[in-house]
A and B are shown apart, each in its own frame.
Chain A
Amino acid sequence: MKAPDCAVGAAARRRVAFACAVITASSIGCSPVTSSGVRTGGAGLGAHQGPVGLSATNVPPGAVEVGIAQAVGIEANIGALVPQFAGQVAALGGNFGLVERVQTEFEMVTRTENYSYSCGTTQYPRTCYGTRTVTNEVATTQMVGRAFYVEGLVFQPAAPGGGGP
């Protein structure tokens, strides 16, 4: 049976969604960040309310792994990813997150955009419109690690350290 013309494959849908996210992000000037997690332990633990400790090198003694967490952002830096990562750790019932990997992938994204320009004279001003194809390199950064629960943990909550050009 022939598939309807409007049907697209999973890969195509992902590309369309990715392009939409990029266009949306570039048009409204924000960096979309999403997060997800998988529970691997800590059965019976509800979502953690409160601050989440963070490290990239070690976990406190007695830590129990409760899941895997990740945050992914388009044109996002680690300052934007960490809050989402910590939120995912808390959603898994953890109070401590171990960042194990941060990596960025680059993809060339082509899209068409409309533009306008003055094309008249001083006496008869006019605005003309056109369409052009623009190709940009888009960076997708992933932060992935594990969520832990530590009983009676006294820790320093993760603090964004800022940044600048």
Chain B
Amino acid sequence: MIRGALTAVPMVLALCGCLFGRVETSRVLTGPAGPPYAGPVAIVMENAPPPASFVEVGILQAIGYGTYANLARIVESLQGQAAGLGCDAVIRVHVDQGSSQASGTGICVRTAATWTAPAPPPPR
């Protein structure tokens, strides 16, 4: 019985997460998309200098609702979208935070080999 309860609790929590939070994505292609990129996708905020050379692929948006209306979910979603379009960086990332919604936008780009993407954070 205890084992059953232990199994049920994560399922209920996961269900609550789906019920009370979600992320909707939107994108507009402005350049050629490539095959999905499997490496780390760099995030470059809007006031940070972009890579020296890149190819623009599109404009991305992620809107988080409820428990997903936070910076982490928005950035994660932008990275996921970018990787799917073959991008290795999202530049000019801008996030607007509300109380129950958050919206993030960025430009999905493929960088030249001369630009090194920042190392991903160490695993926890």
Partner of B30, one of A56, A77, A139: A56
Interface residues in A70-110 by Cβ distance below 8 A to B read 77-79, 82, 99, 101-106, 108
**Complex CA–CA separation, A58 to B30 (angstroms):** 11
| Residue of A57, A82, A156, A162 ringed by the most chain B CB atoms within 10 A | A57
Say yes or no: is A64 at the interface (Cβ < 8 Å to chain B): no
The closest CB in chain A to the CB of B97 belongs to A106
Q: From residue B84, how far is it (CB to closest CB) to chain A in Å?
A: 10
Q: From residue B98, how far is it (CB to closest CB) to chain A in Å?
A: 3
**Complex CA–CA separation, A115 to B30 (angstroms):** 45
The closest CB in chain A to the CB of B98 belongs to A106
**Complex CA–CA separation, A104 to B109 (angstroms):** 22
Say yes or no: is A55 at the interface (Cβ < 8 Å to chain B): yes
Give 12 A-B contacts (CB < 8 Å), ordered by A residue: A57-B92, A57-B107, A78-B27, A79-B26, A103-B96, A103-B105, A106-B98, A156-B31, A158-B29, A160-B29, A164-B24, A165-B22
**Complex CA–CA separation, A156 to B31 (angstroms):** 8
**Complex CA–CA separation, A160 to B26 (angstroms):** 9
Say yes or no: is A4 at the interface (Cβ < 8 Å to chain B): no
Interface residues in B14-48 by Cβ distance below 8 A to A read 22-33
Contact flags A123-165 to B (C-beta < 8 A → 1, else 0) = 0000000000000010101000000000000001011111111
Say yes or no: is A54 at the interface (Cβ < 8 Å to chain B): yes
CB–CB B107/A161 < 8 A: no
Chain A interfacial positions (CB closer than 8 Å to B): 54-58, 77-79, 82, 99, 101-106, 108, 137, 139, 141, 156, 158-165
The closest CB in chain A to the CB of B107 belongs to A56
Given contacts A56-B56, A56-B92, A78-B59, contact A106 B101 (CB under 8 A): yes
Chain B residues within an 8 Å CB radius of A105: 96
Given contacts A55-B56, A56-B107, contact A158 B25 (CB under 8 A): no
CB–CB B96/A137 < 8 A: no
Q: From residue B72, how far is it (CB to closest CB) to chain A in Å?
A: 17
The closest CB in chain A to the CB of B92 belongs to A56
Given contacts A103-B94, A103-B96, A105-B96, contact A159 B107 (CB under 8 A): no
Partner of A161, one of B23, B58, B63: B58
CB–CB A54/B61 < 8 A: no
Chain A residues within an 8 Å CB radius of B92: 56-57
**Complex CA–CA separation, A131 to B74 (angstroms):** 36
Partner of B96, one of A82, A104, A164: A104
**Complex CA–CA separation, A101 to B47 (angstroms):** 12
The closest CB in chain B to the CB of A97 belongs to B30
The closest CB in chain A to the CB of B58 belongs to A161
